[in-house]
Structure 1
Amino acid sequence: MRLGLNLGYWGTTGTDDLESMVTLSREADRQGYAVAWLAEAYGSDIPSLAGYLAAHTPQMGWGSAIMQIPARTPAMTAMTAATLDRITGGKFHLGLGVSGPQVSEGWHGVRFNDPLGRTREYVEIIRAAFARKNVEHEGKHFQLPLPDGPGKALRLLLLPERPNVPIYLASIGPKNLQLTGEIADGWLGIFVSPEYVGEQLAAILAGRQKAGHDDLAGFDVAASVSVSVDDDLDVAADRLRANAALYIGGMGSRDKNFYNKLAVRMGFEQEAGTVQDLYLQRQHREAAAAVPRDFIDQTSLIGPRDRIAQRLHRYAEAGVTTINVAPVGDTLEDRLATLVLMREVLDGEGLAD
């Protein structure tokens, strides 16, 4: 496996300032992390931060986890990815996702209909742009050029450093996982459990086979994993409860919360319902307390060093190829120490790629 750093959104690293993101990025770069990932919702955007932070990390790659499909035209995304690939010296990873109905329709004004079809067309247009073809596309969601105007098929003027910038999809449902295997180079997984990921990888493999690949060789299974180090498991788990409750309970409406449905498929149906009920009633502390420790334990690395090392082996055995570390601690120094610990554990356990 290789290590990545999951920085999330600007404002969620624990100190709510840009300098802490720089400090974490520099430490990950010194520790030989392969890539750092940034997120966006309806606050900070990824490209601005990636361009700024990349200037502080001469070795490490950068990735979007994720750039929202409804936020940009596919041509704009191709331009942005090509620019960031040049800025990073050929080390940009383009992660894409459809977001959810509340953000897509409420913030971007884009209908959340046929997300799989929209994603397929979006990726096709981006790949055509990367290949420096005259971009022409006639689909359900995108038509380039428009058929009833003066537009002409154009080529991307600035080529990326590499002819094929790797494209990742952040997918959760079975059909989206299959599409990921079919059209993408990697998967950005959230709440990945070694005990459950086999089912998800089976869907991805089905997509790979549809595209003519026999296995997952060359496909990056990138799992975002929160790491909370403490000898007391309850203390370690408690640091992660609020974030888990936000996703399971509040990241979407009652009927359209993909993370809640994932928890249900993982066997936490009753608990996921309770967390959602409490969260939607604005009882956020109670919702966090209702998140089962077993769910946190399955989808995170918690506890002392030796226990984290044991669980890291389970991720490797399950087929994860990149561990994107989201370091959680009470101080910035704690999070920096976690980055160092993960490097030492990966090397010491013989798991480093």
Structure 2
Amino acid sequence: NLEQTGEIADGALLIFPSAEHLEETSIRYLRAGREKAGKTLDGFDVCPTVPLVVGDDKDVARLADAFRPHTALYVGGMGSRKQNFYNQLAQRMGYEREAAEIQDKYLSGDKEGAAAAVPQDLIDQTTLLGSVDRIADRMRAYAEAGVTTLTLSPGDLPLEERIASLRAGSEALERAGLA
């Protein structure tokens, strides 16, 4: 649990982070754990892994489609109906109804339906999609939300495309003024 992580660790590896919701979904629990241990978040590494796909800003919806099955697996199928951390995370981000629908479909075997039920906004909030400038803006938002280290995951692309994506991610980091 995140509070215990804050209490005993020197950092946290996060998945499906949303800059817009990081405080209420993660940071507040990490901070509570740090306070329990008599510490602050100073020097504590908040390190989410964020999928990265570089492309035209006009294609963000299409780029997001590649993440629907992955997101559906986590929100719908990782754990039981009562014990799914990622489903609960999506709910804390304001997607209560959608998370329930994704889980219902996934657990009933309708994985395609579950993927189709993943909201575009959820994917957009938890990935870095689009142009280098758009990605730089999102990186700034993550930094402002409390992220100290951002791990970029270029996904299941051919090697040359992954390398190009990581180079673009590096460029975005520089444009964001965070390098």
Cα separation, partners in 2 of 1:326 and 1:345, compared to 1, 3 Å: same
Aligned to 1:202: 28
Query: Which of 119, 126, 129 is residue 292 of structure 1 equivalent to?
Result: 119
| Structure 1: segments with no counterpart, 5+ residues | 1-175
Residue 212 of structure 1 pairs with residue 38 of structure 2 = yes
Partner SS state of residue 350, structure 1: coil
Aligned length: 176
Selected match of 2:14 from 186, 189, 197: 189
What residue identity is the alignment partner of 1:206? Answer: A
Structure number with higher strand proportion: 1
- Secondary structure of 1:193's counterpart equals coil
How far has the Cα of 1:330 moved from its partner?
4.4
Q: Distance in 2 between matches of 1:208 and 1:260?
A: 25
Taking the aligned partners of 1:279 and 1:269, their CA distance within structure 2 comes to 15
**Alpha-carbon contact 2:133-2:175 (below 8 Å) kept:** no
SS at match of 1:344: helix
Question: Any unmatched runs of 5+ in structure 2?
Answer: none
| Secondary structure of 2:147's aligned partner | coil
Name the counterpart of 2:82. Answer: 255
Is the partner of 2:154 in helix, strand or coil? strand
Q: Which 4+ runs in 1 deviate beyond 4 A?
A: none
1:313 to 132, 140, 155: 140
Q: Secondary structure at the match of 1:328?
A: coil
Normalised by the length of structure 1, the TM-score is 0.48
Question: Does the 8 Å contact 2:73/2:106 carry over to 1?
Answer: yes
CA deviation digits over 1:72-100, x for unaligned, max 9? xxxxxxxxxxxxxxxxxxxxxxxxxxxxx
Alignment of 1:324 onto 2:151: yes
Question: Which structure: greater helix fraction?
Answer: 2
How far apart, CA to CA, are the structure 2 residues paired with 1:274 and 1:296?
Answer: 16
Quick one: distance in 1 between partners of 2:63 and 2:130? 6
CA contact (8 A) 1:223 1:323 kept: yes
**What is the match of residue 177 of structure 2?**
350
Q: State the percentage of identical aligned residues.
A: 54
Q: Give the counterpart of 2:51 among 223, 226, 236.
A: 226
Contact 1:249 1:280 (8 Å CA) reproduced? yes
Q: How far 1:332 sits from its partner (Å)?
A: 2.5
User: Which of 104, 107, 130 is the aligned partner of 1:280?
Assistant: 107
TM-superposed CA distance for 1:229, in Å, is: 1.7
Is the counterpart of residue 340 in structure 1 residue 167 in structure 2?
Answer: yes
CA distance in structure 2 between the partners assigned to 1:342 and 1:241 by the alignment: 21
1:241 and 2:68 are equivalent in the alignment: yes
1:91-123 CA-partner distances (Å, limit 9, x unpaired): xxxxxxxxxxxxxxxxxxxxxxxxxxxxxxxxx
- Cα pair 1:222 1:323 within 8 Å, conserved: yes
Residue 304 of structure 1: how far off its partner (Å):
1.6
CA contact (8 A) 1:229 1:329 kept: no
Alpha carbon RMSD of aligned pairs, Å?
A: 1.2
